[in-house]
Amino acid sequence: MISILTKLNKSEKSRVTLRFPQIDPAGIMFYPRYFEIALRRFPVLPFSAPPYTLTTQFIRPNRLGDTLDLSLQHDIELSSWLVTGLLQDEEHFSIRLLKDGADLTDDAHFPALPAFTSDESEIGAWAVGCDSRMILSRYFELLNMTIEEWFEDTLEIPFFELHYGRNIAIPTVQFDTIIRGFPSIGSSATVWLRPITLGKRAMTFKSWLVVDDQCLVENKQVIVFVKTHDDGYEAIQIPGYIRERFEKQLENTGKGK
């Protein structure tokens, strides 16, 4: 990555203040909104032109009223892009995009023994851009909804109960995403999910967006577990009742790739 970033010699800057529509009920910025503010401030970003790979890091949370200093760097060939967001000179997030030919992993088209498969979702007008294909932020919204359904199915409790009744939140700290294409309006898509590793405080899992038995988007995601309080949150170890259920899925599906 260092050799790639040294070639990023074209830059732009912008500033944005976070508003209510960008904040989730936990009081922090909902991660699909990061891609939206990046594209709104830097329309040249090729989010709608796959294939490409993304590495997205959420380093520190952002809240209502935060004013972020955004920067965009890209190379002359428009093949490597980097968006960063700083708050008071501290980096809060970064999005790295490479217009490369990275291959999907061997199990991408037919995910082996997924722990959870969503119902089919028809891609409607709400999810697409002017080219009638799904836009990046809507993909992440669909993924987020499926993750909540997966947790409900695994833990046998409503996600609302986990979040508000037990004050457990699962913020994302990193995405590694390979995008070969986006589904078009009217097509039916499913999301497949499978855990890869369980650490003390974090879980890594893979997901696949599948249309007509073909994987279009593969994503590896790292989440951490936190206990929420009125004045903030604290990192915690994965609660035992959650660990037990997901360990069973690891045993049933293998540890993935």
Query: Which residues share a beta bridge with 85?
Result: 70, 93
Query: Residues 81, 125: one domain?
Result: no
Query: Residues 10, 134: one domain?
Result: no
**Residue of 210, 209, 202 lying closest to 174 (CA atoms):** 202
Query: Residues 192, 214: one domain?
Result: yes
Query: Which residues share a beta bridge with 55?
Result: 96, 176
**Residue of 219, 49, 73, 211 lying closest to 135 (CA atoms):** 49
For the chain, the domain total comes to 2
CATH number at residue 227: 3.10.129.10
Phi, psi (rounded to 5 degrees) for 40: -65, -40
Query: Residues 158, 180: one domain?
Result: yes
pLDDT, one tens digit per residue, over 41-72 is 999 999 999 999 999 999 999 999 999 999 99
Confidence band (pLDDT; 50, 70, 90) for 254? low
Query: Residues 206, 118: one domain?
Result: yes
Total residues belonging to the chain: 257
Q: Which domain holds residue 8?
A: 1-102
Query: Residues 81, 42: one domain?
Result: yes
Query: Residues 55, 66: one domain?
Result: yes
Overall pTM surpassing 0.75 (yes/no) = yes
Domain limit, last residue, from 102, 135, 155: 102
Q: Using CA atoms, how far apart are residues 3 and 7, in angstroms rounded to an integer?
A: 7
Query: Residues 65, 180: one domain?
Result: no
Phi, psi (rounded to 5 degrees) for 74: -150, 160
CB 219 within 8 A of CB 105: no
Domain limit, last residue, from 102, 121, 136: 102
Query: Residues 150, 245: one domain?
Result: yes
Q: Give the count of beta carbons closer than 10 Å to the beta carbon of residue 186.
A: 11
pLDDT, one tens digit per residue, over 150-205 is 999 999 999 999 999 999 999 999 999 999 999 999 999 999 999 999 999 999 99
Q: What is the DSSP string of 61-128?
A: --BTT-EEEEEEEE-TTS-EEEEEEEETTEEEEEEEEE-S-PPPPTTSSS-SS-SEEPPPEE--GGGB
Query: Residues 87, 131: one domain?
Result: no
Query: Residues 93, 114: one domain?
Result: no
Query: Residues 128, 220: one domain?
Result: yes
